[in-house]
Structures are given as C-alpha cells and as structure tokens.
Amino acid sequence: MKIFAHRGNGLGFPENTWGALTTEQLKDLDGVETDVQLTKDNILVIHHDEKLGRIFEGNEPIRKLTFAQLQERKCLVKGFEDQKIPTLESYLNFALEHEIFIHLEIKAYDYWHFQKLAKKTVQAVEQAKMQNLVSYSCFFYPVLLKIKSINKNYPCNWLVERKLRKLDFPFLKHMDGLHLDIHIWKKLSNEERNTMLDIRSVRIWTVKTQEQAQELLSSDIEALIANNPLEILAMNKG
C-alpha cells in the first residue's frame, strides 16, 4: 500500500512549508499531498486554508494578497518563524529533481477562480515537465472536468467527504481515482466499499492514528494520505 504525507505533515515541519515538502524523509514515502491556490497577482502558491491565521499571521484570503505581501507574513509555529509560503513553480522544480510524486489538491472557491486556477496549475506542471509525477484532486467536480478537457490523460481524483449516492457513480467513471474521507469509508458496508474499488482506485484521507492505519493496511485501498506517514510506513514494513 502506498503512503503519502498529508500536506507534508509528520515530517518535523509545519504543514505545506518548504521544510515539510523538501525534507529528506520524503524519500522513504511514495510522495506528498499538497494544495495550490492563486494569489491576487496570479502566482500559484502552496497553502491549504482559504485564509491566513492558522499557520501564518493574518486573516485575509490568499487570493486577496499579492505574493510579495504573503512573503512578509511570519510563520506562527514556534521555532519555525523563518518558514515561508512556497510557490508551486519552485516546488515542482524541486520535486522533479528529487522524483517526488505529488497529489495536488486544487483549492477552488468560485467559477471564474477555478477556471483560471485549473488552467494555470496545469500549465505550471507542464512547464516543469512534471506530468508523470503529478495527480490532481479537488472537491469541486467541474475543476477536474476542466483539467480533463485540457488533457484527458492527466490523472484526476474526486475528493469526497460525504457518502456517495447512486447518481454520483456515473461521474466517478470519468475520474482516475477517488480520495475519500476516512470517516465516510468507515461507515460504508463491504458491498459499498467493493463497488467503489471495482470502479476506481481509492485513497483514504486523512489518516491520523496508528489504529486507523492498522485497520486500513489490510484492505484493497491503493493508498493512505496521512498526518503520521513515517509511523504508518514502519507498520507497513513490519
């Protein structure tokens, strides 16, 4: 089973910072899951939350600030004040050099925003020659269709945090995989789980404890996206 570091968590640095995404510990994993957003001046940056305030100082939405303004914001995690919000371009170049596979979540907020964000993200991946090392995911299904319209061979995965309905399955067939909330997976019957696994690859997020991992390691799930990836790696090898 593959194991990915969720936002680079569990590797000794605050999530989605340069330190978390470039640490040598990543070489032992199958890759990393991270997030991309667009700044006011159209720079692609890596950050999960819509607004600042949890990892970096401030409370404004990322898309309302320029990249230069973001670089002025201090990391709020004690001992890591020097960490900054990375650009996607810089990280793609690093990942190519070190052959790091990226599950890239596109953080879309409205129709016009997602159109631009999806297009620019794909362009950045292509320019970095990272097409074979990037897989896209999003909660907003039209984002994934937009990427498929650019190139049908680009792997896209539907992020889901609710139980799928029958009408969802035709949409799922257009995707390459399903990224499913662990709490939803636990509520599914064996028949429902097998139906999903028969259609597409399933990756479970966010695994946070050894107990959760232990239950999943014996399943037919393709991968775990985890906050404690090194602990799970040791369990998996054992």
Distance in angstroms (rounded) separating the CA atoms of residues 19 and 54: 17
Is the Cα dihedral 94, 176, 36, 181 positive or negative?
negative
Give the number of domains in the chain: 1
Average pLDDT in the 83-104 region?
Answer: 98
Kindly report the CATH number assigned to the domain that includes residue 117. Answer: 3.20.20.190
* pLDDT tops 80 at residue 238: no
* pLDDT tops 80 at residue 112: no
Q: φ, ψ for residue 61 (rounded to 5)? A: -65, 145
* pLDDT tops 90 at residue 43: yes
Asked if residues 87 and 48 have their Cβ atoms less than 8 Å apart, the reply is no
Range of the domain at 211: 2-237
Reported as a single tens digit per residue, the pLDDT across 122-171 is 999 999 999 999 999 999 999 999 999 999 999 999 999 998 888 888 88
Q: What is the pLDDT at residue 173?
A: 81
Query: Which segment of 12-16, 110-114, 163-167 scores lowest on mean pLDDT?
Result: 110-114
Reported as a single tens digit per residue, the pLDDT across 193-217 is 998 898 889 999 999 999 999 999 9
* pLDDT tops 90 at residue 172: no
Percentage of the chain exceeding pLDDT 70 = 99
pTM for this entry: 0.96
* pLDDT tops 90 at residue 221: yes
Is the Cα dihedral 186, 223, 6, 68 positive or negative?
negative
Q: What is the pLDDT at residue 75?
A: 98
Distance in angstroms (rounded) separating the CA atoms of residues 20 and 26: 9
Between the CA of residue 207 and those of 17, 213, 221, 226, 232, what are the distances in Å?
Answer: 20, 6, 13, 4, 9
